[in-house]
Structure 1
Amino acid sequence: MTLDLHGASEGGNSFGSSSSSSAVIPSEETVFTPVEDKSRLDASTELSSSIEDLLEASMPSADTTVTFKSEVAVLSPEKDESDDTYKDDMSHNQKCKEKMEAEEEEALAIAMAMSASQDALPVVPQLQVENGEDVIIIQQDTPETLPGHTKAKLPYREDSDWLKGQQIGLGAFSSCYQAQDVGTGTLMAVKQVTYVRNTSSEQEEVVEALREEIRMMSHLNHPNIIRMLGATCEKSNYNLFIEWMAGGSVAHLLSKYGAFKESVVINYTEQLLRGLSYLHENQIIHRDVKGANLLIDSTGQRLRIADFGAAARLASKGTGAGEFQGQLLGTIAFMAPEVLRGQQYGRSCDVWSVGCAIIEMACAKPPWNAEKHSNHLALIFKIASATTAPSIPSHLSPGLRDVALRCLELQPQDRPPSRELLKHPVFRTTW
């Protein structure tokens, strides 16, 4: 997918890290004072009761940054470090904090594993390939100028083996439709992309990009990532068949029903972060996270990340902030400043887009008042030169607001990785 001029629409700091640069907890040795009478909180206390007691006693105000450390203790600079009581208090709180961080990591791992189960994907027999075969099935009436694909053993042609239904999306060189497999009745979505271009070199680039997108999708398997049933090449088109998500996109639901309640925003944001965590751990960045590319199932409860036309593979498993440079792919209003400035970028550009998606879901409008900018160059300049994050809706709770602000840190290295964001207290009710 190229730069969407019609879209008016990494490593970061770990919450549990002792080197966090949060405004609440300075980087030098921190003086912890116990909350109220909990100065002797036993580090072996069960995590659940510890969190409940501490949250009840130290619920942050609307102006307080929400972090795990602020739940454990508050700063008390007036205490004398030579005071034995102070030393004992600090020791107890430090042990409790470390235990909480360890158990939070374990709880998150368990929650991620439990959430990894999903329904079986419908099978369309004529889209199945043998192990080792290319996932793209080329039809017999397709030109021989596209080597490397699997020759169709059984034809799977439009209008005879599958039927095209209502159009649900339109791009410069692609269209998306609802479709039905004639043999099984399975409902699908099909992204139909024409690969014919004016020059052979341009056409080769398009074909290679499409093949990479299809092969990338064929290896993805996560509850919050759209699943592909198969792909064909017929005449001048590539057809990508993906599972049908009856709820449509987040952008569609926002246009139909208006802004989401905070509970819905939190639910969708958590699922978005889980999907991105899976992609990032598999060395993939999406580069076009926005409401139009987040699909919802028929119940309104399951979110899946879709459209990998702008996605790219990373060269390393590290969380470095920069691996790409100068590639403007995505939708302007959701793109990180470093991308628009032509600087190096990596996983953290997706984290920035999560913050933008939170704004979109909370107010049914894209960030930066992008819908009011008819001049796309002006919008690019506005974001690239920004010294503050885009405006966040004032009605958001401190917790969700904090998540958005962390995603929208101007410096890529200051944005927490997607997996670390999942540890935020605002998502803990789902653990």
Structure 2
Amino acid sequence: MNWIKGALVEAAPSDKVYLGMDSANGLLMAVKQVNLPDVSAANKERRRNVLNVLERELDILRGLQHPHIVGCLYSSVDNDHFNIFMDYVPGGSVAALLRKYGAFEEPLVGNFVRQVLRGFSYLHEKNIIHSDIQGANILIDSAGMIKISGFGLSRKIDQCESTRNVFAASPSDKCPLDLITDNSKHTPSFWGSVFWMAPEVVNQTAYMCKADIWSVGCLAIELLTAEHPWAPLTEMQAAFEIGRISKPSIPSNISADAQDFLRRTFEVNHEARLGEEELLQHPWFSLEVAQSTA
């Protein structure tokens, strides 16, 4: 397809997202563009591994259709780039909004977290682990509807309660801590995402949908404070603390219901950690609805 590249929307170590326009019909799109290793013989294996990761992301996105999941339109690849064309979400990421407006009020955080959990309900029913929930991957449209994006590290497993180890299955399916220490600009990376990781992911003891629940607790802290959990620490320091089964600090200036919600998301035993359907019944969301309609 022919498209026109517009302004840079978001930049990450391994990819950039641009505003794009379909030159045939004028449709505005978000275009995730990943630089590919060159086609030389020396980079043949690296290029194949990167393409495998991107094709896996694309396969997951193509099978998703939900109000709280960003839609995938199509893709293209050339010698230099792999492009994924997605629905344009005009509000941008909540991480960008936090940089612009500062921390959100608690009722708004509850509203956003509830929408993310509804998206999780859909994903987890399909046995898909998102694996990279953070403010940069949560988009908001002009009506305040949340759209989950950033599926580059997502996995589909046999069943969502599986605790089998699926790490490091191949060079294109690296475990998170390998990705943290991979300095290649061409490799999709967890660099910067460790702050949202669950202990079982850092320790590579289990890989299941409940890891996303821990991450949504970290997202809530990010929205409430405009800082990611473990803010004083580096990525490797945070990984060490999480691996020791430490928990993020819960803000003291939020309601008792919000604090209880966060404590439940930070249950260290992933088998005892509540799922999204149970958390959607939490009293915190009843309070948020009451305040938003007052």
Question: What interval of TM-score do these two structures reach, taking the shorter chain for normalisation?
Answer: 0.7 to 0.9
Partner of 1:380: 239
Report if aligned partners of 1:286, 1:308 keep a CA contact under 8 Å in 2.
Answer: yes
- The answer on whether the counterparts of 1:262 and 1:396 sit within 8 Å (CA) in structure 2 is yes
Find the partner of 2:95 among 251, 272, 296: 251
Q: CA deviation at 1:341?
A: 1.7
How many residue pairs get matched?
Answer: 266
Find the aligned partners of 1:321 and 1:266 in 2 and give their Cα distance.
29
- The match for 1:270 is 114
User: Which of residues 267, 276, 282 is equivalent to 1:409?
Assistant: 267
- Report how far residue 323 of structure 1 moved: 4.5
* Corresponding residue to 2:156 among 306, 313, 322: 313
TM-score, normalised via structure 2 length: 0.85
| TM alignment of 1:182-197, pairs within 5 A | 182-196=23-37
CA contact (8 A) 2:36 2:79 kept: no
Contact preservation (8 Å) 1:315, 1:323: no
Give me the whole-angstrom Cα distance separating, in 2, the residues matched to 1:190 and 1:264.
Answer: 28
Q: 2:254 aligns with which of 372, 379, 396?
A: 396
Alpha-carbon shift at residue 368 of structure 1 (Å): 1.5
Per-residue CA distance 1:40-79 (angstroms, 9 max, x = gap): xxxxxxxxxxxxxxxxxxxxxxxxxxxxxxxxxxxxxxxx
Q: 2: distance between equivalents of 1:235 and 1:399? A: 52
Q: How many angstroms does 1:183 deviate by? A: 2.2
2:145 to 302, 305, 308: 302
Q: Which amino acid aligns with 2:126?
A: N
Q: Which amino acid aligns with 1:223?
A: P
Over the matched positions of the two proteins, sequence identity in percent amounts to 36
Q: How far apart, in 2, do the equivalents of 1:273 and 1:373 lie? A: 27
Cα deviation for residue 195 of structure 1 reads 2.7
When residues 322 and 401 of structure 1 are mapped into structure 2, their CA distance, relative to the original with a 3 A threshold, is farther
Of 281, 285, 292, the residue aligned with 1:427 is 285
Distance in 1 separating the partners of 2:200 and 2:6: 40
Calculate the aligned-residue CA RMSD, in Å: 1.8
- 1:321 and 1:347 in contact (8 A); partners too: no
- 1:344 lines up with 2:203 in the alignment: no
Take 2:29 and 2:261, find their aligned partners in 1: how far apart are those partners?
Answer: 34
Residues 1:360 and 2:216 are matched in the alignment: no
Matches within 5 A, 1:2-401: 156=1, 161-196=2-37, 198-299=42-143, 301-316=144-159, 318-325=160-167, 327-328=175-176, 330=190, 331-369=193-231, 372-374=232-234, 376-387=235-246, 389-401=247-259
Instruction: Name which of structure 1's ranges 326-335 and 265-274 shifts more when overlaid on structure 2.
Output: 326-335
Going from structure 1 to structure 2, the CA distance change for 1:321 and 1:355 (only over 3 Å counts) comes to farther
Distance 1:206 1:179, change over 3 A: same
Partners of 2:148 and 2:264 lie apart in 1 by 21
Unaligned runs of 5+ in 2: 169-174, 180-189
Contact residue 323 and residue 346 of structure 1 kept, 8 A: no
How far residue 382 of structure 1 moved from its aligned partner, in angstroms, is 1.6
Q: Of the two structures, which has the highest relative contact order with CA contacts closer than 8 Å and spacing of 6 or more?
A: 1
State the Cα distance separating 1:188 from its structure 2 match. Answer: 0.9
- TM-score, normalising length from structure 1? 0.59
Q: Is the alpha carbon distance of 1:287 and 1:342 closer, same or farther for their aligned partners in structure 2, counting shifts above 3 Å?
A: same
Question: Distance in 2 between the 1:344 and 1:396 partners?
Answer: 31
Structure 1, unmatched stretches of 5+, are 1-155
Which amino acid in 2 is paired with 1:311?
S
Equivalents in 1 of 2:58, 2:212: separation in Å?
A: 20
Matched AA of 2:240: F
Amino acid at match of 1:194: N
Determine the C-alpha separation between the residues in 1 that align with 2:52 and 2:27: 29
Q: How far apart are residue 196 of structure 1 and its match?
A: 2.2
Distance 1:177 1:276 in 2: 26
Please say if residues 165 and 205 of structure 2, whose CA atoms lie closer than 8 Å, have aligned partners that are also in contact: no
After superposition, what is the alpha-carbon deviation per residue over 1:74-93, rounded to whole angstroms, capped at 9, x for unaligned? xxxxxxxxxxxxxxxxxxxx
